[in-house]
Structure 1
Amino acid sequence: MVPPSTKAEIVDVGFAHKALVERLSPGGRYIDVQSDIDSPWVPFGPTAMIKHLAFDVRSNTFSNVLWVKEPGVIGTHLHRGTIVMVCLHGSVKYLEYDWVASPGGLILETPGESHTLMTDHPEGVKLFGWMQGPIEFHDEWGKFVFTADVWWFIHHYESHCRDNNIPINQKLYL
């Protein structure tokens, strides 16, 4: 049971390493996903966009919202790390599985799995993702095409910002 609290003000917790945390931690932050103020939509293929939310080079971790704007496919890919996603809008499935994710649904992917993401929803799908490790993309014959990792996603974001005179948001870097 969580202890009750009626005190709606900051309470000093007295953590023994508070000074270290204040000195070394990047701190908590808020990223506005609803507007393009903190992060713009960046094209990801002909019918998809990515809104980058966080990059952590120390753990090869990155977060974003993937928006497939209409019925379509994100090609076959192999995960080398753990992926956690939440369906925000529309629906999505993997050709390799027998389930369809709908809004509010949690998708968990483990390292070593390969699959093909597809939406046949008329409005496509929006997925919030927290991802760790490289993602290897393959063509329709299973031939390796490229790897997307934290460095690829940073380059994807920063290149778009530079090309469109959008300031790079340092709050996205953990």
Structure 2
Amino acid sequence: MSFPATGSIINIQSYKHNGYLHRNWEDTVILKGTPSQVICGNDRILVTESDGRQWRTREPAICYFNSKQWFNVIGMIREDGIYYYCNLGSPFMWDKEALKYIDYDLDIKVFPDGTYILLDEDEYELHRRMMRYPSQLDTIIQKNLQELIMMVTQKKGPFEPGFVEQWYERYLEFR
């Protein structure tokens, strides 16, 4: 799997388990791209929903994807600190059109003080039944949810102090 060069501008696309496009983020800059990890940045980019609705993000963000983890992390840089939005989803893939993953609805929002809340449990349950997620998939999602919570509470990986700031400085070099 070859990746775009550092500094390349890509789209990020999330899909649902049934294969339908869920959301598309444009104009995201690759800061690091390897077969196992992608770190990218964006700021006030256009997002298109599956129903055609469009909106712009409000702040700079650093996005973290890992090929072995069933989640991705978006560190949003706001005046009062860094907020994280974490999507439980399949490991990423790159197919020259976009960086892609399957969104499995469960999300964690992490606040600057390190507290967090689990979001969209009802949506996960609805889609799990509606799209007939296999029991093995549910096991993977639950295991990765626990791994993600552990990373949040232990401030590891993209939650490590300085991680988002360091990559944001790198992102500014490409603007």
How does the TM-score come out when normalised to structure 1? 0.32
> Which one has a larger percent strand, Structure 1 or Structure 2?
2
Bigger radius of gyration: 1
